[in-house]
Amino acid sequence: MTTLGIVVLAALALIAVAALAALFFERRAGIERRRAAEAERDLAQEQVAEEREHLSRLNDRVRIAEESAQSDREALDIERGRTAKLTSARRAERGWARELREQLMHLQRENSVLADETSDVRKLVLRVAVDLVEAEKGLLLAQADEDRDGDLDLVCHLGFEHDPEHSAVVQRFATKVMERDATVREDESAKLEGDSAPADQEIHNLVAVPVYIGDDFAGVVVCANRDGGFEELDDDVLLALGDHAGTALNNSRLHGELRTSYVSTVRMLADAIEAKDPFLRAHSDEVSGYVAAVADRLELGPRRREELVFASLLHDVGKIGISERILLKPAALTPEEFDVVKLHPRIGYHI
């Protein structure tokens, strides 16, 4: 082989080697690029996964925030409802107190301040309570067991066709009030079934409220048969009802004691006059009897009638300040002595 051939072969070999090297490096570069692309893809996927996880956490936070906001809204609605209920309860309590006060004032205007109006006050308290809760029937029970039968005593009732004095239903729920020291409601007729007392059959739902005089339990107000039941009535209103009822009943009791004391004082003064002057024996009773008869004939109101009767009993009370030497003098009085006797109305006025 000539030198030229060898050179040609060598050149061809070098070209082939160069081509193979170029192919090798190109393939290697492609592999590196593929690996880099795969790495970038993996990195992108990781970033996407992280973003998704971050977005999921954000969604969770948003959900929690929305749930919290919803809970806050619900709590706010509940609080608004409570506030509205409390406002309504206070308004109802003020209305109850105002109505009871007005009714008591009317009762006192119609009757004498010294009249024995205890029974009227009890009926009034019960009627206003029944009206307040929009019930159909009502009872007022006292803790004092005067008949010693183990039950609360029935003071008065309203709206019953049959006498509820021995109502097993009423006594059962009144006892629950005493045991729990709280208001008791029942809106299910099935749970109100009692004995065979006719009055029990008239009760379809009820609420029983404790009545206190000061810190002492005094009795129970029971209201029955309200459309829709008593469940919606606020406890504060019902307890206020019991408190006001207790206050009114206690004031009535004190008023009765005042009347008894006043009547006793008037009677003592009348007796003292008659004891001092035998000629006036039974005179005050006779005069008061005539006055009462005239007042009845004239159809005077009870307040005015009683004022006149008490005045007639006391019309001679001023004679207590007149000397017995003059009052009991058997002979005719001198003008001076008669002037002294004529002072007895003024003395009585000051007494």
Cα–Cα distance between 308 and 288 in angstroms, integer? 8
Asked if residue 252 belongs to a domain, the reply is: no
Pair 97, 28 in one domain: yes
Pair 165, 188 in one domain: yes
- The predicted structure's pLDDT at residue 195: 57
Q: Report pTM.
A: 0.51
Domain final residue pick, 182, 209, 244? 244
Pair 163, 235 in one domain: yes
pLDDT tens sequence for the chain (351 residues): 677 677 777 777 777 777 777 777 777 777 888 888 788 888 878 888 888 888 888 888 888 888 888 887 887 778 777 667 666 666 665 665 666 566 656 555 554 444 445 557 778 778 878 887 888 888 888 876 666 666 788 888 888 888 888 788 888 888 888 888 788 888 776 555 655 678 888 888 888 888 887 777 878 888 888 888 887 776 666 776 777 677 777 776 666 666 777 777 777 777 777 777 766 657 777 888 899 999 999 998 887 888 888 888 888 888 877 777 887 778 888 888 888 888 888 888 777
- Identify the bridge partners of residue 156 per DSSP, sorted by sequence position: 140
Domain that holds residue 32: 1-103
Radius of gyration of the chain (CA): 49
How far from 325 is each of 275, 319, 340, CA to CA, in Å?
Answer: 14, 12, 11
Asked if residue 251 belongs to a domain, the reply is: no
Pair 232, 295 in one domain: no
Phi-psi region of 181 (alpha: psi -120 to 50; beta: other; left: phi over 0): left
Cα–Cα distance between 112 and 117 in angstroms, integer? 9
Domain final residue pick, 64, 85, 103? 103
- The predicted structure's pLDDT at residue 114: 45
Pair 262, 218 in one domain: no
Q: Read out DSSP for 116-168?
A: --HHHHHHHHHHHHHHHTT-SEEEEEES--TT-SSSPEEEEEES-SS--TT-H
- The predicted structure's pLDDT at residue 297: 92
Domain final residue pick, 191, 222, 244? 244
Asked if residue 253 belongs to a domain, the reply is: no
Cα–Cα distance between 238 and 186 in angstroms, integer? 14
Q: Strands 137-142 and 184-186: what pairing? A: unpaired
Whether 314 contacts 341, CB under 8 Å: no
Pair 238, 318 in one domain: no
Task: Give the ranges where 201-301 is alpha helix by DSSP (H).
Answer: 235-276, 283-297
Q: Strands 137-142 and 153-158: what pairing? A: antiparallel
- The predicted structure's pLDDT at residue 341: 80
